[in-house]
Amino acid sequence: MNSPAYRALSLAARALLVELTMLENGENNGSLYLSIRDAAGRLGMSDLSAISSAFNELQDLGFIEVTEEASFHVKAADKSRARCWRLTWLAGPGRKGPTMAFMECQPEPGTKAHTRMERGLRALKAYRKDRDSGRLPVVDSDTLDEN
């Protein structure tokens, strides 16, 4: 997850990524069924358009791929299925290894996602600089009482 694409994700997309990862059991990548409605329930959200946007973000930035489109049947005996997903940083069925597509992706300049990415990368750079120089943000803070 150490990539500019991860820094570009909204909080909803990051939370959805965790939920999709929790569905993966080491053998079922590429067969992760999760609908927008079920994802909203798992995340405790009611805004289905926000969940749909989170799925789109994850796809656009290369974290997930659709392996099977949703199917909806009218007949009572038929079953409907949600879209089926694959996590790109893990090997899937019939694949030798992961595609790691998110490592190649960045959001378009001028978008909110690009702004989030830049802000996150600046914060990460500052953290690493402080860590490498031996400064720890909480320990070296002057906001803590000295008792």
CATH architecture for segment(s) 4-132: Orthogonal Bundle (1.10)
Mean pLDDT of the chain: 88
The amino acid at residue 114 is: H
Work out the average pLDDT over 31-49. 96
At 33 the three-state DSSP class reads strand
The domain segmentation of the chain, as residue ranges, is 4-132
Top pLDDT among 52 and 92 is at: 52
* pTM for the structure as a whole: 0.83
Q: What is the pLDDT of residue 65?
A: 94
What does the pLDDT look like over 73-129, one tens digit per residue? 545 555 657 889 999 999 977 777 899 999 999 999 999 999 999 999 999 999 899
What pLDDT score was predicted for residue 142?
Answer: 61
Structure confidence at residue 141 (pLDDT): 60
Per-residue confidence at 140, pLDDT binned at 50, 70, 90? low
Rounded CA-CA distance 80/62 in Å is 26
User: Measured over all CA atoms, what is the biggest interatomic distance in the chain, rounded to whole angstroms?
Assistant: 71
* Cα–Cα distance for residue pair 126/130, rounded to 1 Å: 6
pLDDT of residue 79: 63
